[in-house]
Structure formats: structure tokens, C-alpha cells
Structure 1
Amino acid sequence: MLMFGNLFTFMSFQMLIPTLPPYIKSIGASGIEIGLVTSLFSIGAVLSRPFIGYMLEYKTRKPLVLIGALALLTITIFYSFSTVIVIFLFFRFLHGLAWGWSTTVNGTAAVDVVPNSRLGEGMGYFGLSVTLGMIIAPSLGIYLYQVTTFTNLIYISGSLGLVSVILLSIVKYITPDDVKKAKKEDLKFSYFGSLVEKTSWYPAFITIIATFGYGAIATFIVIFGEERGINQIFLFYLFNAIMASVSRPIAGKWFDEKGPKTLVLFCTTVTFIGMWVLSFATSNAFIIIAGMLFGIGFGSLLPTLQSWTLSKTAPNRRGVANGMFYSAIDLGIGLSGFIFGFLAIYIELGILFRISSLFLIFVIVFTLVEGKRKSITEQKAIS
């Protein structure tokens, strides 16, 4: 039930991701302002997560989940009243605050019910609700943006958000014993301490780099399709969803049996190839192939990095670790949207995608470095 509730949360939100940039462009936004659609949202999400991560150390889950879902629903409806760019961007910042709250709480509520021995598989299944929402909803959003008004698109998004509130309200949540026993007055709040979990910072750092490379696509793929004359750009998301659904359970078991390193390397390599195929796309065939590669690669990369992050974290600190992980995603995509939004003024989008793909090479390098660093540490311990 939590998976379905989270799916509708992501559906409601993600159908706006590819449509907000072309909408704000249509009302007169510049390239930098288009980039701010992503960046301001990400800043809001990053700012809110340390506070909710701290609260998850001593509060039960249900009230926090419902507050986040209701906030997302309310702010989504506000978009229908924003025809002024400054107001639109302000709502986008508020949306980021609510998104940071909701994703952190929902992810923590999920990990609370998954046994440690099956963390990769369990979070892989929960992550499927994230991936399907991230992949199916943009296709729906693009289609609605093309055939109806932006206001109707917002109302449909709000309807999906309402369904998520209903589903999440009937979930039976589990709160860890350490959290139940904890008292607020015994816990000292540190913004940095609730922003970064020291035991698992490395996979979160890798997540920033991976999502920075992906952010150019998240921001500009619809505009890219318009420039290339590809009317069926939704096929990228459709085939992404299909392949992610097929590969995710396999990737989860791979994680539990063999660990994260080889899986991260494989997923990153496939994603890199997919980005290059997309960058040369001139027809629907290229879009379909790129979508399939992204489904196999990026569709399993983020859940793998999340499971890697959580596997290195104590149960009572998993709220902080989840917040750090999602902040890493938003920070990577947000910085990418702003920087590549500026570069998009001067560079053709296909070339921009190829430049952004180079950051995936850094993911491979840092994953290999972490593997060698761990091996050296273990050898010293044996000595």
C-alpha cells in the first residue's frame, strides 16, 4: 500500500517535470529562468531535508507522511494561478520544500519494513514505484500538455495527488524501537549533522555526480524533441518504464548477493551509452533504443545507490541517510538544470547531452576508487 501511495505521489509530481520548462518558456522565460525551474525546486528540497531527517529520529511515521502528501497536493494546485514568472518560480521553491519533506519520510517509512538481509531487493521493489512514477508520468504529462490546457494538466496532477493522500492515510506504518524510545530533548539538532550521515556519505556523493549528468535530459528532453521534430518523445519514457520494471527485481537480488560496486558500474555504463544514443536521435527508433537503455541503466542505478547508502547506516539514522540521498539527487539535478540551462543558450542540445554524459565517467572512476579504498582498509585491518 505504501508503494502504491508513493507511486501516485511520484505520478502527480513527475508529470510536471518535462512540462513546466516548456510552459514557462511559453510565457516568456529566458534560458536561465527555465533552468531556475529545476534549481529553485532543488534548493527548497535540500533545505527542508535536514529538519525532517532530524524529526524522523524521534517521531512516528504516519503524521509526517500525511503532512508531506497534503503539502504537495496544495502547492500543485497553486500552479494553476501562476502566470507571472516570478510567482511561478516562488511556487516552485515551495514545491521543493514539500518534496524534500515527502520523499524523505516515504523512503524512511519503506526501509523501516524491509529486513536488512533483503534491503537491496526490498528497496528495489519500493524504488520501482519511484521509477515508474518518474517514467510513466512524464509521458502522460507530455501528452496532456500537447492536447489540453496547462490548467487541466495541473488539475489532473492534483487528482493523482489526492489519490496518494487517501492511500497513504490507510497504510499501517512501523516505527523502529530506537525511534520510539528517543526523546526530542535528548537529541541535539545540527543542520549539517542532519544533512549528512557520515557513515554513508560516499554513495550519496556518487549520486550527486550521476544525477548531475542526468539533469540535462530531465530539463530539456521535451524541448530537444521539439527542436529535432520528434513528436513522440513520450516513447523515451514509455520504454524506459518497461525496461526498468523488468530489470529492477534482478538488480535488487544482484545487490543482495554481490554488493553494489559491480552493479553501479554496469548501470552507469549502460546509461552512458543511452545518453549518446539519445543525443544523436532524429527519429522515434533512436528514442525507443535510448529509452530502453535508460530503463536498464538509470532505472536501476538510483535504487542501487540508495540501498548502498542505507546499508551503511544505523536504523535510527536512516531518516537522515534517506534525506541525504534524496538531497543528493535534487542537488545534482538542480545544479545541472541551472548550469546546462545557461549553456543551452550557446550549445545545441544534442551536444549538451553528450557533454553531460561525461559526468557518468566520473561515477565509474569514483566507484572504482571506493572499491580500492575499501580493499586497502580491509588489508590494513587484517594486518
Structure 2
Amino acid sequence: MSKEKLWTKNFTIVSLINFLVVLVYFLLIVTIGGYAVEQFHASTSVAGLVSSIFIIGSLVGRLLTGRMIEGTGSKKTLVIGLILVILASGFYFVTLNLPLLLMNRLFHGVAVGVASTATGTIIAQSVPKSRRGEGIGFFSLSAVLATAIGPFVGMLFTRYTDFQMIFMFNLLLAAICLAISFAVKPPVISIPKKESKQAEKGFKLSNYLEYKAVPISFVALVVGFGYSGVLSFLSFYAKEIHLVDAAGFFFLVYSIMLLLSRPFSGRLMDAKGANIVIYPSLIVFAIGMVLFSQSYIGVILLVSAALIGLGYGNFVSVAQTIAIQVSPTHRFGLATSTFYILYDLGLGAGPYLLGYLIPITGYRGLFLYMAGVILAALVLYYFLHGRIEKELRGNRAGALQEN
């Protein structure tokens, strides 16, 4: 029996769109703060707000998108999201003061939240059920590559050109995304009449969140919280421990390990279930965090990067797959937005809350405590999903045979 095709035109185009949208996001993350300081003489704290307010907008966008997909369809939602991305990219040219820049960063976050949730939903709808873990694993690599390439491109632009060229480059990429999005043809997903009528009856939280996806999404929130300190405080930690040069390769090693392992972890999940990937991933992530907290030489720091990439990176893609698998097909959009809302909340709130602990614990102590948080997430996973994974997997296998 031959495998169902994974790399279809839909899959390739949507992955490319996701890559470009996320690339622009991370390109601006490393440059927009400097723009605020240089152009508007913003303080360091305000420059940080200019950078991070994007995440709040993204959460709002994701919250709205699940309902939008059910009402208008995933392709129309993607097109709307990309039009908003183009508008936000263009507005950077006319942000004449800090308040306007902050408003546009918030708006840009909403736009990216809509577009990226739509891409994730189209992929979930399009990949074969028997290869869903592998498919979502490959798709999520588009974001992983963007997180590595985006900051690199951003630093090149700031070194060799000006901010107007950065904004022009972003606008060009947004236009390319919109142009190729019209070639996407997601499958038609029918909504049961009963649920369609219920959705029309006023405000209901279930119209914005998929309850079945909440348990695994909550685990992702805790794991994302544990990782957020690495993302936000690596440069400060590296200066303190005198490993700035090695830290420059941290995310490169992280990305390489993900590129090498993600295809295998997706196939393993499809063949053996989520538990065989999730439990080892969280254990490896915790070990990587312990090494990270105790890094005294560059080699140890980079080994910790490899372990964190192997553990944390594979957990995220498998957890997203679980959120989709436990949800009805017609609510994949809500499942995707639910997962990212909680996951982004952990990543976004983490640096703010952990910042209060650093004066007490120091960076080493903080990252060591985060290893404990990750192990706590492992226990949480068992109670919220792991113990019933075998039963759910049996039900999915039965459904596949019937089809």
C-alpha cells in the first residue's frame, strides 16, 4: 500500500506563505526597537513595548480567526489576513510618531495572527489523516527556519541599509504571499447543521475556542513558559557567563537539530502515537535546560541548544497535531487558534513574570527552576492527555479503517 501524497501544491504554497509571514515577524522583532530609538528617541522600555505589543495583537487575531474560518472558510480568511499584513507593512512608512508606531505594531500582530492561524488550519485540513503528525511536523519547519533566518536578515539590513528598505522588503514579501495565496485550494469542510445553528445564537465561548483542544494547549502553555526565558534572556545570560560568541550559534544549532529530527518524530507519532514522542521530548528538554543553566564553556552551551531543539521543538509540533486530532474536522480552525492562543500566552507572559525572579535567583537559578517546570509539564501531560492517548489512538485507527 503506497503512502498518501503529502507534498501537494496546497502544502507547498501554504508552507511558503507561513515561512515568509513568520520571517517578516522575526525580522522586525530584532530591528523595530532600534527604529523606535533612532527615529523617535524612545527609551529602552518603550522600545521593548514596540517590539512585544505585536504578541498581544497576535493573540487577538488568533482569538477571532477560529470563528472567522468557520463562517467564511479557511482560504478567504487567509486572503483577508494577508491583505491586512500588506496594509500593516505599508503603514510603517507613515508612522510619524510613537503612538502611531505602537498602534501599527498591534495591528500587524492581529494581521499575522489571522494569516498564520489560517495557514495552520489549511494544512490540518489538507494533510492525509494517516500522515498528519509527519505533515504538521514538516509544516512547522517553515516557522522554525523563519525564526533563524528572519533575525539574520534583519541584522544584515541594519548593517548595510536603512529602515525604509526593511519596510519595502517586508511589503514586497507580503505582496508575494497574497499573490500566491490565490492558488491555494483547501478541501471543502461541511459543518453539521445542528452546530451551525448553535453558532448563530449570540456569544458563546465555544464559538471562539475548541474545548477538546484546551488540555494539550494548556500543557503547551506551561512548556512555552519554561522556554520563554531562553528566548528572551539568552543575550543577557551569555554576557554574564562570558559566552557571547558561542551564544551567537545557539539558534543555528537549535534549528539544525530540529531540521534533522522533526521528519522522524512526525513519522514516529503517526506510527506509534504521541506518547512515544512527547515523554522523551520533555525529558530531553529538561536535561537541555539543566545543561543550559550550568554552561561554563561554549561546547556545553551548544550541546544544550541541540537538546533543547530536539526536546522543545518536537514537543510543539506533536502537541499541535494532538490539538487537531482530538477535534472535529469542521473545528480545525478553532483547534488551531486555541492551541496558539494558549501557547503564545505562555511565551508572551513568561519573560514578564520571570523578569521578577531574576534578581532573586540569578540567570542560572532561573533556568534550573525552568527544568523543574518542564518536568511538571510532563506530569501534567500524563493527566490531561497521556493516559488516554492509547484509547484515542485506537478510536482514530478504527475511524481510518471505516473510511
TM exceeding 0.5: yes
How far off its partner does 1:284 sit? 4.9
Alpha-carbon distance in 1 for matches of 2:34, 2:294: 21
1:262–1:183 CA distance, 2 compared to 1 (3 A): closer
Matched, 1:109 2:122: yes
How far off its partner does 1:354 sit? 3.6
Matched, 1:17 2:38: no
Q: Contact conserved, 2:36 with 2:50, CA < 8 A, in 1?
A: no
> Which whole-Å deviations, capped at 9, do the CAs of 1:197-224 have from their partners, x for residues lacking one?
1222110110111111122222333454
How far off its partner does 1:126 sit? 1.4
Matched, 1:75 2:71: no
Alpha-carbon distance in 2 for matches of 1:341, 1:147: 33
Alpha-carbon distance in 2 for matches of 1:129, 1:172: 19
Corresponding residue of 1:4: 16
1:377–1:64 CA distance, 2 compared to 1 (3 A): closer
Alpha-carbon distance in 1 for matches of 2:141, 2:318: 11
- Look up the equivalent residue of 1:363 and give its one-letter code: A
1:372–1:295 CA distance, 2 compared to 1 (3 A): closer
How far off its partner does 1:85 sit? 5.0
Corresponding residue of 2:281: 267
Q: Give the one of 311, 314, 318 matched to 1:300.
A: 314
Q: Give the one of 354, 378, 381 matched to 1:367.
A: 381
Corresponding residue of 1:316: 330
Deviates more, 1:49-58 or 1:133-142: 133-142
1:23–1:232 CA distance, 2 compared to 1 (3 A): farther
Alpha-carbon distance in 1 for matches of 2:268, 2:390: 24
C-alpha RMSD over aligned residues: 3.4
Match of 1:172, SS state, is coil
> Which whole-Å deviations, capped at 9, do the CAs of 1:144-182 have from their partners, x for residues lacking one?
445554554444344433332333232233231338998
1:268–1:190 CA distance, 2 compared to 1 (3 A): farther
Q: Contact conserved, 1:54 with 1:189, CA < 8 A, in 2?
A: no
- Look up the equivalent residue of 2:136 and give its one-letter code: M
Q: Contact conserved, 2:88 with 2:108, CA < 8 A, in 1?
A: yes
Corresponding residue of 1:167: 180
Alpha-carbon distance in 2 for matches of 1:348, 1:258: 41
Larger radius of gyration: 2
Deviates more, 1:18-27 or 1:288-297: 18-27
Alpha-carbon distance in 2 for matches of 1:277, 1:142: 28
Structure 1 spans left out of the alignment, 5+ residues: 379-383
Q: Contact conserved, 1:275 with 1:353, CA < 8 A, in 2?
A: yes
Alpha-carbon distance in 2 for matches of 1:149, 1:41: 22
Alpha-carbon distance in 2 for matches of 1:68, 1:203: 26
- Look up the equivalent residue of 2:229 and give its one-letter code: A
Structure 2 spans left out of the alignment, 5+ residues: 1-12, 393-403
Alpha-carbon distance in 2 for matches of 1:33, 1:180: 49
Matched, 1:52 2:79: no
Q: Which has the higher contact order (CA 8 A, sep 6+)?
A: 1
How far off its partner does 1:186 sit? 6.2
Corresponding residue of 2:303: 289
Corresponding residue of 1:381: none
Q: Contact conserved, 2:275 with 2:386, CA < 8 A, in 1?
A: no
Q: Give the one of 358, 362, 372 matched to 1:358.
A: 372
Q: Contact conserved, 1:120 with 1:252, CA < 8 A, in 2?
A: yes
- Look up the equivalent residue of 2:68 and give its one-letter code: M
Q: Give the one of 120, 137, 160 matched to 1:124.
A: 137
Alpha-carbon distance in 2 for matches of 1:35, 1:213: 21
Deviates more, 1:4-13 or 1:278-287: 278-287
How far off its partner does 1:133 sit? 1.8
State how 1:197-208 maps to structure 2 within 5 Å: 197-208=210-221
Identity of aligned residues (%): 25
How far off its partner does 1:21 sit? 5.5
> Which whole-Å deviations, capped at 9, do the CAs of 1:55-78 have from their partners, x for residues lacking one?
211323222112212322332454
TM-score by length of 2: 0.80
Alpha-carbon distance in 2 for matches of 1:79, 1:351: 40
Q: Size of the alignment, in residue pairs?
A: 377
1:35–1:225 CA distance, 2 compared to 1 (3 A): farther
Match of 1:71, SS state, is helix
1:261–1:365 CA distance, 2 compared to 1 (3 A): same
TM-score by length of 1: 0.84
- Look up the equivalent residue of 2:250 and give its one-letter code: F
Match of 2:79, SS state, is helix
> Which whole-Å deviations, capped at 9, do the CAs of 1:112-161 have from their partners, x for residues lacking one?
11122221112112122122222332333345445554554444344433
